[in-house]
Amino acid sequence: MSQSEQASSTQTAVTQAGTGQERQGFGAFAGVYTPSILTILGVIMYLRFGEVVGEAGLGQTIAIVVVAHLITIATGLSISAIATNRTVRAGGAYYIISRSLGAPAGAAIGVPLFLAQALSITFYIVGFTESLMPVLPGWWATVPEYVYSSITLWLLAFITIKSADLAIKTQFIVMAAIGLSLISFFTGSGVESLDAYIAGLESPRAQAMATQMWGDVTGLFNAKPLRPERVIWWNTEGAGFGPMFALFFPAVTGIMAGVGMSGDLKDPRKSLPLGTLAAVFTGFTIYLVFPIWLAMNANLDHLVSHTTTVVAEISSVPLLIFFGVWGATLSSALGSFLTAPRTLQALSFDGLAPRLFGRGHGPMNEPRIGTVFTFLLAQLGVLLGDLSAIAPILTMFFLATYGFTNLASGLESWAANPSFRPTFKVPAVISLAGGLGCFYIMSMIDLGAMIAAFVFCSLIYIFVQRRALEATWGDARHGIWSALVRTALYRLRKEKFHPSNWRPNLLILGGGGKKRLHLLELGSAIVQDRGIVTYMYLLQGSVAENADSRVKLRENLDEALTNRFPHVFCRVDIVDDLYKGVVAVSQSYGVGSFETNTIMLGWPKNTANYASYLSMLRDLARLDRSLLLVHYDSQRKLGAGRRIQIWWGGLQHNGGLM
């Protein structure tokens, strides 16, 4: 089976799967909003936000939150625009980018996106284990963290393989737990004096219950941070904006959890915009208020030194915080477990990953083989076990994904392809600004890591491009190049021409390409990469008789010349008379001020037509076209000599020889 046939068959599989999913898929709340908001309100909020506020100060933290959400809002708008233009099937962000910017660009982002999603599972599970260790009693606290992480990973893998529907349903329970934990946090506070607080505790029953459940944890539950004398808005002695942004940004990547479920949605066009934007603005509101409450109730040193417990320490019911963080981290890991295999499955459908990963099971076409592979990668990540080491890696890959998603939407809108007609319209400048903002933030966080990420993505792009996979879908690249050409032509029209800027736009006129190879060789050598070469085949006769053969001739010419002369354009035009046709096409070929200025012709062999030939040359001269007449000796050929003898009159105001 050819590559094009394979692509066609796999695309059919995607379509069929998508059709089934549309009949019995999830809605905006269950399929998009819930996994997104549970991933957004996750491990960073509970276990690392204290460190961000402590190292950066409240003002800088709010700046970090605002900048991060400006990027996610732009990305959410871009996703909404693309989702309302076409059905976003399995693959989420990969599907969006590949259908807009082509298969190589899709693969360049799809592969690192899958790796980032797989590493996200590790990220959330390690966060869960970190929050679990402080409340484990006795011997249980001596067990290595990676053991608990591995056990958790196995349980989540089992749930995911069992059923995506089961995984989604468990998230509603988690959402309730997170809601209660937020209420507990915002109804708690720090204390003016720790001694006075401990002396005034009036909840021995709660302490007894906690001790019975978790062992001797009264010290943890009794601890209360001291309120600062004043809120520090900008910590000049802390780690700074870049490192703290890198640590915080994974918190707002949750929108990809919902986008990654695109293939399992009942109506992606409706659910993706509604669920994504609702999750973004919900998270934005909470993340603006959360650091204010932290900064008001704990000093900076305590926020940094107790970053994993400070949220529980401030809360009115600390146990609810632990339930919230456990639920949030586990549900976020579960969300990544759902999306990563589906990204891999979409890559497989398009021939960019082994076909084994494209196999689905059940009515929802669930990627169980991909889930097993994702599990193995996550298990390797568990061995790292360092939350702060994993976060910057995720930040780079997710920022790259966000950036290219925004560029895909912005370029589609700017190119104004007739096929791009979203019902949710977003100005191109917003999407493009969001994309450029992502790349700027990447460079600001860690220029070396950014370069490494781009090198990795570029290698994938080059590899896929050289494989020359034939995509069965249309993308925006043709429209983008057309828009660039149009813009350049408008600018060129406004520029005043000066002879010093003259470049040869060469039109070669001849018969079959194989008979006139010497013209193509000489023309390409003269022009090189400083102009444009077009080979024009004039087909004599009527349009009615030659319309079909013209198309076939054009295909044959392209096939014969493309490999040897990749920079030569081919055309076939039908004319009534050859000599008059040459004069006509020399005037009509081109757009605006960008037109042919040089004509190359072979020396005539039929002496009976000299009069017509000379008349044609005279007309071309009157049209101010430069003429190149080539008399070719088939025996001597072009030769290999390096010296070219040129006769230059210089008496007709034709300037110096360039």
Q: Please state which of the ranges 7-21, 186-200, 417-431 shows the lowest mean pLDDT.
A: 7-21
Q: List phi, psi (to 5°) of 583.
A: -65, -40
- pLDDT > 90 fraction of the chain, expressed in percent and rounded: 7
pLDDT at 569: 87
Q: Which of 459, 489, 457, 496 is nearest to 592 (CA)?
A: 489
Q: Which two structure tokens, joined as six digits, stand for 229?
A: 């004398």
Residue 1 has pLDDT above 50, yes or no: no
Residue 383 pLDDT grade (very low, low, confident, very high; cuts 50, 70, 90): confident
How far apart (Å, rounded) are the C-alpha atoms in residues 77 and 89?
Answer: 18
pLDDT of res. 348: 87
Query: In this predicted structure, what is the pLDDT of residue 543?
Result: 86
Q: Are strands 532-540 and 590-591 parallel, antiparallel or unpaired?
A: unpaired
Asked whether the predicted pLDDT for residue 456 surpasses 70, the reply is: yes
User: Which of 182, 158, 181 has its CA nearest to residue 170?
Assistant: 158
**Among the ranges given (348-362, 499-513, 529-543, 570-584), the one the predictor scored with the smallest mean pLDDT:** 499-513
DSSP classification of residue 608: G
CATH of 28-190+225-467, picked from 1.10.286.10, 1.10.3720.10, 1.20.1740.10, 3.40.50.720, is 1.20.1740.10
> What is the predicted pLDDT for the residue at 110?
85
- Dihedral angle of Cα 378, 384, 389, 390, to the nearest 10 degrees: 0
What average pLDDT does range 197-221 have in this prediction? 47
Bridge partners, 601 (sequence order): 509, 629
Angle, alpha carbons 204-210-211 (nearest 5°)? 85
Q: What is the pLDDT at residue 468?
A: 54
Give the pLDDT score at 65.
Answer: 94
Nearest-angstrom CA–CA distance, 4 and 290: 52
Closest CA to 371 of 390, 356, 381: 356
Yes or no: say if 93 and 259 are a contact pair by the CB < 8 Å rule. Answer: yes
Most confident of 207-216, 285-294, 415-424, 555-564: 285-294
416 secondary structure, DSSP code: T
Checking if the pLDDT of 18 tops 70, the result is no
Provide the 8-state DSSP code for 265.
Answer: B
* Closest to 584 (Cα-Cα) out of 603, 602, 568, 571: 571
- pLDDT average, residue stretch 318-322: 85
Q: Which positions ≥6 away from 153 have C-beta within 8 Å? A: 121, 125, 333, 375, 378, 379, 382
- pLDDT above 60 (res 650): no
**What are the angstrom distances between the C-alpha of 143 and each of 122, 139, 156, 203, 329?**
18, 7, 20, 31, 20
DSSP string, 126-137: HHHHHHHGGG--
Q: How far is CA 150 from each of CA 118, 162, 283, 329, 381, rounded to the nearest angstrom?
A: 14, 18, 29, 14, 10
Number of neighbouring beta carbons within 10 Å of residue 214: 18
Q: Does residue 204 have a pLDDT over 80?
A: no
Query: According to the model, what pLDDT value does residue 289 have?
Result: 94
pLDDT of the residue at 12 = 41
Residue pointed to by tokens 């592969």? 111
What is the mean pLDDT of the segment spanning 614-628?
A: 88
Query: Which tokens belong to 93?
Result: 């962000």
Amino acid identity at 177: A
pLDDT bin (cut points 50, 70, 90) of residue 154 is very high
Tokens at residue 98, please? 């590949």
Contact 405, 97 (CB under 8 A): yes
Backbone angles phi, psi at 29, to 5 degrees: -70, -50
Question: 514 falls in which pLDDT band (50, 70, 90)?
Answer: low
As given in the structure block, the two tokens for residue 540 are 């004599």
Q: What is the pLDDT of residue 261?
A: 67
Q: Is 552 exposed, middle or buried (0-12, 13-18, 19+ CB in 10 A)?
A: exposed
| Rg (the chain; Cα; Å) | 33
| 260 three-class SS | coil
| Mean pLDDT across the chain | 78
Distance in angstroms between the alpha carbons of the first and the last residue of the chain = 54
Task: Fill in the amino acid letter for 235.
Answer: N
Give the 3-state secondary structure of 430-484. HHHHHHHHHHHHHHHHCHHHHHHHHHHHHHHHHHHHHHCCCCCCCCCHHHHHHHH
Degrees (nearest 5) of the Cα angle 160, 163, 168? Answer: 80
Q: Where in the chain is the domain with CATH 3.40.50.620?
A: 503-630
DSSP 208-251: HHHHHHHSS-HHHHH--PBPPSS--S--TTSS-HHHHHHHHGGG
Give the bridge partners for 191, in sequence order.
226
Q: At what angle do helices 318-349 and 103-132 cross, to 10 degrees?
A: 160
Which DSSP symbol is given to 29? I
- pLDDT tier at 511 (50, 70, 90 boundaries)? low
As beta bridge partners, residue 591 has: 594
Residue 287 exposure: Cα atoms within 13 Å on the Cβ side: 31
What number is the average pLDDT over the span 568-584? 87
Measured between alpha carbons, how far is 41 from 335 in angstroms, rounded to an integer? 13
Range with the largest mean pLDDT of 282-296, 465-479, 486-500, 582-596: 282-296
This prediction has a pTM of: 0.66
Architecture per CATH, 503-630: 3-Layer(aba) Sandwich (3.40)
297 neighbors 131 (Cβ within 8 angstroms): no
Q: Which residue spans of the chain are classified as CATH 1.20.1740.10?
A: 28-190+225-467
Give the pLDDT confidence score for residue 16 in this predicted structure.
42
**CA distances for 364 relative to 24, 25, 210, angstroms:** 8, 8, 43
347 in the Ramachandran plot: left (φ > 0), alpha (ψ -120 to 50) or beta? alpha
Lowest mean per-residue pLDDT among 26-35, 193-202, 467-476 = 193-202
> Three-class SS of residue 170?
helix
User: Exposed, middle or buried, 433 (CB in 10 Å: 0-12/13-18/19+)?
Assistant: middle
Task: Report residue 191's pLDDT band, with 50, 70 and 90 as the boundaries.
Answer: low
Q: Is the pLDDT of residue 5 over 70?
A: no
Q: Specify the pLDDT at position 152.
A: 92
The H or E element containing residue 165 is: helix 164-186
